[in-house]
């Protein structure tokens, strides 16, 4: 997964960067949930990861045509 620069505060600078960050955090949280046998929560977090990746991809695709 590609990353985009963030500003000095470490916050994403664009919607795409925010979606990528959310995807990474969701993946880490899903892993933590699975490790503690919290399968329903892991599933929801995995869905959030997938949605974030799709959003980031959509943002990248849209920027190609701008």
Rounded to a whole number, what is the largest CA-CA distance in the chain? 44
* Domain-located, residue 30: yes
10 within some domain: no
- As a dihedral over the C-alpha atoms of residue 56, residue 1, residue 43, residue 38, rounded to 10 degrees, the angle is -130
pLDDT over 70 (residue 6): no
Residue 4 lies in a domain: no
| Domain presence at residue 41 | yes
Domain of residue 35, residue span: 15-64
Q: What is the pLDDT of residue 1?
A: 44
- pTM strictly above 0.85: no
Summarised one tens digit per residue, pLDDT across range 19-58 is 999 999 999 999 999 999 999 999 999 999 999 999 999 9
Higher pLDDT, 27 or 4: 27
Q: How many domains does the chain have?
A: 1
């Amino acid at each position: 997964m590609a990353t985009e620069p963030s500003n000095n505060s470490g916050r994403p600078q664009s919607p795409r960067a925010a979606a990528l960050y959310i995807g990474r955090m969701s993946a880490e949280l899903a892993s933590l949930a699975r490790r503690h046998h919290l399968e329903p929560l892991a599933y929801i977090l995995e869905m959030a990861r997938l949605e974030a990746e799709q959003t980031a991809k959509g943002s990248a695709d849209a920027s190609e045509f701008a």
